[in-house]
Amino acid sequence: MKLTSLSLLALTAFGETLAAPVVSTNSSAELETVLVEQFSIWPEPTFPEIYHTCNVTNTRMLNSAFKDSVEASAVAKRRLLDFGVDDVYYKRWFGNGSIFTVMGVLDHLIESSKEGVLFRCDDVDGLCAENPDYYAGHHRESAPSETVICDYFYQSKKPLSTVCFDGTIVEVGPKHYAGIDLLHRYLHVPSMSLDYVGEFAEGLNETLEYVENNATYAVRNTDNYLYYIADVYTSSVIPGGCLGDI
């Protein structure tokens, strides 16, 4: 396994440029090395184990999505550090919620140990086949550290290089992008959510309701993080971003 020549995606973000490589590797260890070099804001990113039921193509696409997860989260964390709680993006998705909580959740998602966390590609529970045009994956309640990635994931989820191409974030949802979708899948795993962050509200209207009236839960709700990361990331690569109307 080797890293081929890396084509660089120039990201102008808050006066700095993040160079994002297209990772050509099947090795999580190699992926970690590349990302440490590229995103020093995350000195020790960690990743789930990819089970042997994922073929070479599955693995390459998952590793690319893992890279996108780190890239989008790095831009989001940089925004937090640079602009704090008075930032329009922070207020839009977390209201007056604690920035310490938000910072900690982002750090935990990317750098906490994922030992035992497993992504697999066999339809062990039959739910992918039952929902072929709907299920991109699912958390296994019978095996809480495991996530099944369905074939529909590879067909429907897009890389960050396509942001804003298919529509606004409001129109397509932040989970339209594979890297951001994987962050949401992390938070279904008990060792990652710690029974603290979860899907307390789903859908944009409920997410915004937390911002206005319950910031304590805005910083605990999965969708608030996903919308924040997508909103900040798209604004870093396209002037004004592509949030859409809320």
Do 33 and 21 contact (CB within 8 A), yes or no? no
Q: Residue 41: what pLDDT?
A: 76
2 pLDDT higher than 80: no
Q: What is the DSSP letter of 43?
A: S
Q: Residue 17: what pLDDT?
A: 33
pTM above 0.75, yes or no: yes
Do 219 and 96 contact (CB within 8 A), yes or no? no
**CB within 8 A of 139, min separation 6: which ones?**
146, 147, 185, 188, 189
Higher pLDDT, 27 or 195: 195
Three-class DSSP category at 237? helix
- Chain-centre distance for alpha carbon 184: 6
Q: Residue 75: what pLDDT?
A: 95
Three-class DSSP category at 127? helix
**Pick from 59, 31, 23, 61: nearest CA to 47:** 31
Q: Which amino acid type is present at position 39?
A: F
| Residue 43 pLDDT level (bands cut at 50, 70, 90) | confident
| Residue 77 pLDDT level (bands cut at 50, 70, 90) | very high
Average the pLDDT over each of 11-20, 51-60, 167-176 and give the range with the smallest value: 11-20
Average the pLDDT over each of 24-33, 67-76, 148-157 and give the range with the smallest value: 24-33
Strand arrangement of the beta sheet that strand 118-120 belongs to: 49-50, 118-120, 146-149, 137-139
Q: What is the DSSP letter of 158?
A: B
244 pLDDT higher than 60: yes
Q: How do residues 151-171 score in pLDDT, each as one tens digit?
A: 999 999 999 999 999 999 999
Q: Which residue has the tokens 């993080």?
A: 225
